């Protein structure tokens, strides 16, 4: 099933297609993303919905997809959500979500991954007791992927190393026994300290709910 995650309408269509074909699912791995881009990282792009592209694809799309699939995940419990993030994280500027000022692709990427980690911890708390675990990880540093090669930075890790870390949470015992955690590779670690801040997470939760409201109205979902 294919969808352009730069379009929230297509994310909804993807979720509907998955749900129509599968009443119960046991695993959601949010892995798609947009990197910093080719140097000098200055070209700001917007999504189909007018959001800064990296925030849209790396954060809003998987957040929406997860919420739209929660009913199917509950039906498939015990189930898991694995959010593939990055060790590169920087606090979101809520006053400039589109990054109209001082834009760089790298900073946009870091902010999207910060938001994704904070969302992970929030959703895990929200789904506590539901049979769904929600965890986030940095799979490996600078894997040999198109995203890394496009940034003109020499790869440091193999894709296999990243796959091993993702599968550890997707199918291994770790992903079943803990929730609301951040992993660096195979090991539990700490995300950016700001992602644990209650005020920051509350602000992000409110902003995200506002941005996704048109795509969640009238749907069965967890409470934002």
pLDDT in tens, 16-29: 999 999 999 999 99
Reply yes or no on whether the pLDDT at 221 is more than 50. no
- 3-state SS assignment for residue 213: helix
**Is pLDDT at 13 greater than 80 in this prediction?**
yes
Supply the angle between the helices 61-75 and 8-21 in degrees, to the nearest 10: 10
Between 44-53, 68-77, 106-115, 135-144, the lowest mean confidence (pLDDT) is in: 135-144
Q: Is 138 helix (H, G, I), strand (E, B) or coil?
A: strand
Give the residue among 57, 63, 72, 56 at the shortest CA–CA distance from 21: 72
**Confidence class for position 222, pLDDT limits 50, 70, 90:** very low
pLDDT at 206: 97
| Least confident interval from 65-69, 118-122, 140-144, 210-214 | 140-144
Tokens at 167, concatenated: 């599968």
Entry pTM: 0.91
Whose tokens are 């995650």? That residue is 5
Q: What is the pLDDT of residue 224?
A: 37
Tell me the pLDDT band of 190, cut-offs 50, 70 and 90.
very high
pLDDT at 39 over 80: no
Would you state the pLDDT for residue 161?
Answer: 87
8-215, CATH topology level:
Rossmann fold (3.40.50)
Q: From CA 81, how far away is CA 66, in angstroms rounded? A: 8
The residue written with tokens 């947009």 in the block is 34
Active site residue 109: yes
Q: What is the pLDDT of residues 148-186, one digit of tens each?
A: 677 667 777 788 888 999 999 999 999 999 999 999 999
176 and 169 Cβ atoms separated by less than 8 Å: no
pLDDT at 41 over 70: no
* Mean pLDDT taken over the chain: 91
| DSSP string of 77-91, one letter each residue | -SEEEEEE--S----
**Considering 59, 103, 109, 196, which one is annotated as catalytic?**
109
Q: What is the CA radius of gyration of the chain?
A: 16
Section 48-59 average pLDDT: 97
**Is 220's pLDDT higher than 70?**
no
pLDDT reported for residue 42: 61
Residue 46's alpha-carbon distances to 25, 50, 133, 187, in angstroms, are 32, 5, 32, 35
Per domain, the residue ranges of the chain are: 8-215
């Amino acid at each position: 099933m294919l969808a352009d995650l730069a379009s929230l309408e297509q994310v909804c269509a993807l979720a509907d297609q998955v749900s129509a074909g599968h009443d119960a699912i046991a695993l959601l791995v949010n892995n798609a993303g947009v990197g910093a881009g080719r140097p000098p990282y200055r070209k700001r792009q917007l999504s189909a919905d007018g959001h800064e592209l990296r925030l849209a694809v790396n954060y809003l799309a998987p957040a929406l997809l997860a919420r739209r699939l929660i009913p199917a995940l509950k039906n498939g419990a015990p189930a898991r959500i694995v959010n593939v993030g990055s060790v590169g994280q920087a606090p979101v500027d809520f006053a400039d979500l589109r990054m109209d000022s001082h834009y760089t692709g790298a900073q946009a990427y870091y902010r999207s991954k910060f938001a994704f980690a904070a969302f992970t911890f929030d959703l895990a708390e929200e789904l506590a007791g539901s049979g769904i675990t929600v965890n986030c990880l940095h799979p490996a540093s600078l894997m040999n992927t198109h995203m890394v090669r496009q940034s003109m930075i020499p790869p440091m890790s193999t894709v296999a190393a990243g796959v091993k870390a993702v599968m550890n949470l997707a199918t291994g015992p770790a992903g079943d026994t803990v929730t609301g955690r951040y992993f660096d590779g195979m090991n539990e670690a700490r995300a950016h300290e700001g992602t644990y801040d209650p005020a920051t997470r509350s602000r992000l939760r409110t902003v995200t709910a506002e941005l996704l409201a048109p795509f969640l109205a009238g749907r069965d979902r967890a409470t934002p």
